Amino acid sequence: MDNSINNINPELIAKIAQISSVLEVSGYPKPGNVHRTRDFHDMVFEDFIISGIVIGDTIREAASFGSEINNFISFKEANIGKYILKAVKETDKWISNNTNLGIIMLLTPIAISAAISNNIDELRENIHNIIVNSTVIDTVALYEAIGIADAGGMGDTDEYSVTSEDATKELIENNLNIFDVLTISSSWDSLAKELTNKMPVTFDIGYPTFLKLNKEYSTNLATITTFLTILSEVPDTLISRKYGGEKALEVSSLAKEVLDSLDIDEDLNTFNKKIKDFDDYLFENKLNPGTTADLTASSIMVSLLSDYY
């Protein structure tokens, strides 16, 4: 394979983003989340498939524009907020509920970075450059995207609350970029923490797990194992916001128990039963590790991109 960066063109990056979104939701049974045999009352499997497809054009546009960084534009001109908002608006045309805001927030900087990076280390560093060098214009667009998606808990702080009528004015007056705003919420929101700390869960946990397993076993097993691995090590902040930190830790502990029962080369029966029971338990108790699902999608995307370095 030619390892030139020219292989990762915007068209390919967009396809990888779409595939990553679709593979994530297709993981079966991915405990506590919508998957191919589990719908929620307000959103169904097909909603997520559609969401994964319709962001493709915007991701391609973002990657195409980002490919000019260091040539004709700077990191400050990457327009990450614009593309996050555009992807959310496109999703909103097709789906009535927020199905992919978190995924869009993670995959957009990955896509822009992929267009200018020659290896995984550069990919990771450039994602950080894009976030750190964002502008207040990007933040205003991000807040609008969060408002459209109606993402409970995101941006809800005493300062600069996304639900505040004065939010835009306050952001502009204080010249806060995306990095600044997400840093404020990073102590209780792992997606914010991910985007302000060079994506440690994606690059250090999820990507290596999916990459290894996907080469040796089924993509489905790689997906759900990546999800469980992340959940076992990083308590899900969507759960902690709704039910408290102790409940999130309990779910992580249960995920580890299921993961420990996995014997890929011997017998999958015990694992299959445990993961099905875990899925039922989370569903019946309305415990939805949605942030973990987002981080699984970003992990899959980085893994698929790594094939071209």
Judge whether 11 lies within some domain.
no
Q: Residue 25: name the closest of 6, 5, 4, 52 by CA.
A: 52
Distance from chain centroid for Cα 258: 23
Q: What local confidence, expressed as pLDDT, does residue 270 receive?
A: 87
Each residue's pLDDT tens digit, 180-227: 999 999 989 999 999 999 999 999 999 999 999 999 999 999 999 999
Structurally, how many domains does the chain consist of?
Answer: 1
Judge whether 222 lies within some domain.
yes
Judge whether 257 lies within some domain.
yes
Per-residue pLDDT at 149 exceeds 70: yes
- The residue range of the domain holding 239 is 204-293
Each residue's pLDDT tens digit, 247-269: 999 999 999 999 999 887 677 88
Residue 217 DSSP class: S
More confident residue, 82 or 159: 82
CA–CA separation, 190 and 44 (whole Å):
25
Q: Residue 158: name the closest of 192, 177, 184 by CA.
A: 184
Judge whether 276 lies within some domain.
yes
> Mean pLDDT across the stretch 65-88?
95
Which pair of tokens denotes residue 249?
A: 């830790």
> Mean pLDDT across the stretch 87-111?
95
Judge whether 121 lies within some domain.
no
Asked if residues 27 and 19 have their Cβ atoms less than 8 Å apart, the reply is: no
Judge whether 234 lies within some domain.
yes
Judge whether 264 lies within some domain.
yes
Share of the chain above pLDDT 90, in %: 82
Judge whether 251 lies within some domain.
yes
Q: Residue 5: name the closest of 119, 122, 147 by CA.
A: 119
